[in-house]
């Protein structure tokens, strides 16, 4: 039976066993404005807050 020469630390062992991976964020383009944004997130464009192609907040009207 093989024996390791050095003890593997708990932190090193757990880093190997983890399933968390670094991934690139999913970026989509809005159909109405053409702006790039993260999926499932509202985004500002020209003073308006858009989500799924609809205006949620229009900051240009507020005075």
pLDDT 10s digits, 26-49: 999 988 889 999 999 999 999 999
Domain count, the chain: 1
Q: Is 27 or 1 the better-scoring residue by pLDDT?
A: 27
Whether 39 is in a domain gets the answer yes
pLDDT for residue 63: 57
Q: Domain range spanning residue 35?
A: 28-63
32-42: string of b/e by CB count within 10 Å (b at 16+)? ebeeebeeeee
Tokens found for residue 24: 């690139």
Q: Is residue 18 part of a domain?
A: no
Owner of token pair 């509202």: 42
Tell me: pLDDT of 62 over 60: no
Within-domain flag for 63: yes
Confidence of residue 23 (pLDDT cuts 50, 70, 90): confident
State pTM to two decimals. 0.57
Report the candidate in 15, 39, 16, 14 with the shortest Cα–Cα distance to residue 29: 39
Cα 60 to Cα 50: distance, rounded to the nearest angstrom: 13
Residue 6, pLDDT > 90, answer yes
């Amino acid at each position: 039976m093989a024996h390791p020469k050095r003890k593997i630390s708990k932190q090193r062992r757990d880093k190997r066993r983890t399933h968390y991976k670094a991934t690139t964020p999913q970026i989509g383009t809005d159909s109405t404005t053409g702006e790039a944004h993260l999926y499932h997130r509202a985004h500002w464009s020209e003073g308006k807050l858009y989500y799924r192609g609809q205006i949620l907040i229009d900051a240009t009207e507020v005075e």
